[in-house]
């Protein structure tokens, strides 16, 4: 018996990603401004890159 899928989360995330890429592709300054506002709102700080290599 087949179940009917009511919500396709993968399709939904792909649509969100496409909309955001269209919004920010030609306007990286908007992305930077919005990311700074998010960092300020949630009191987030940029961290140093954690580069570890295992040999």
pLDDT greater than 70 at residue 55: no
Main-chain phi, psi angles of 37, to 5 degrees? -65, -40
pLDDT greater than 80 at residue 52: no
Rounded to an integer, the average pLDDT of 17-45 is 93
pLDDT greater than 90 at residue 32: yes
What are the tokens at 38?
């998010």
pLDDT greater than 80 at residue 38: yes
* Residue 31 contacts residue 24 (beta carbons within 8 Å): yes
Greater confidence (7 vs 54) lies with 7
DSSP string across the chain:
-PPPPS--HHHHHHHHHHHHHHHHHS-HHHHHHHHHHHHHHTT--PPPP------
* Residue 39 contacts residue 45 (beta carbons within 8 Å): yes
Least trusted range by pLDDT, from 13-17, 18-22, 47-51: 47-51
> Model-level pTM greater than 0.85?
no
């Amino acid at each position: 018996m087949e179940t009917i899928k009511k919500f396709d989360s993968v399709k939904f995330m792909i649509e969100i990603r496409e909309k955001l890429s269209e919004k920010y592709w030609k306007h990286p300054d908007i992305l930077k401004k919005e990311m700074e506002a998010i960092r300020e709102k949630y009191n987030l700080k940029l961290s140093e890159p954690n580069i570890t290599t295992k040999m």
